[in-house]
Copies of this chain bind each other. A is one copy, B any other.
Amino acid sequence: MAPRWKGETAEAKEPMSVIVSKLQTSLIESNAQGLLSGCAVLLEALPEQTELLYRACIGRPLITAEKDKKQWHQLSFEEALYLCCVLKCIKIAGENKCAKSNDELWHYMMVKRVGFPVMFKAYSHLRRKNWVVRAGSQYGVDYVAYRYHPAFVHSEYAVLALPDDEDGGSENSRLKVWSDFHCTLRLCGSVAKTLLVLHISRNGEDDVVSLSSLEHYSVEERVVTRWNPEVSRDAK
């Protein structure tokens, strides 16, 4: 499926990998540090970083009284952890203003959000492939994935991240019954998205250990579409 453009396409052409790389360099140079705040991370950014965060579609700017100065951004746990532990371009501090270690962050986020390891694995999996990933609650899924910035294109994929548990754990109990499948596929169809299911196997890793255990998780991508009988018909 090709991306569905919203209008002018020229501006979108800079590859996402280049934009993210510029953001990474800039944040490293300025020793950027985020602050844990409940279920989010606040990050103060220079004007050029604000521009790059917007173009990379990471976080959202908070409304502030000051203009033409530094701008505060609110990052989700996934976004903050990705910048901190995958791109290694920000530090994140807790209430005492001291930067937390990766494992301290990991533990904090896991306690705050049920099923966070599986969600972060899915988020980072797609981001590493240069998809733009945003929350999908509007469409009843975990994420939506865009090929370019959402200002230019509609999202192509509605993404569900499902742990591949033997016990069918209740952590993200989606697509276990037909009515849920029908509901999700019909909704995806009506908003012109393809359902992408990321089955995430823990491969025996216990998810409470540490961030490094995430490397042992594996991701299986399944695109779910309705079968079109025309496809297999003889072209006579």
Contact = CB atoms under 8 A, between A and B. Distances in A.
Interface of A: 136-142, 160, 168, 170, 172-174, 176-187, 190
A180 B1 CA distance: 25
19 contacts: A136-B179, A137-B178, A137-B182, A139-B182, A139-B183, A139-B186, A140-B185, A141-B179, A168-B170, A170-B173, A173-B173, A173-B180, A174-B177, A174-B180, A180-B180, A183-B183, A183-B184, A183-B187, A187-B190
Nearest to A161: B179
A172 B176 CA distance: 8
A174 B182 contact: no
A193 to B, nearest CB: 12
- What is the predominant secondary structure among interface residues of chain A facing chain B? helix
A180 B183 CA distance: 9
Contacts of A185: 140
A223 to B, nearest CB: 17
Contacts of A168: 170
Nearest to A143: B179
A198 to B, nearest CB: 13
A146 B122 CA distance: 41
Contacts of A176: 170, 173
Contact of A140 (B136, B172, B179): B179
A141 B183 contact: yes
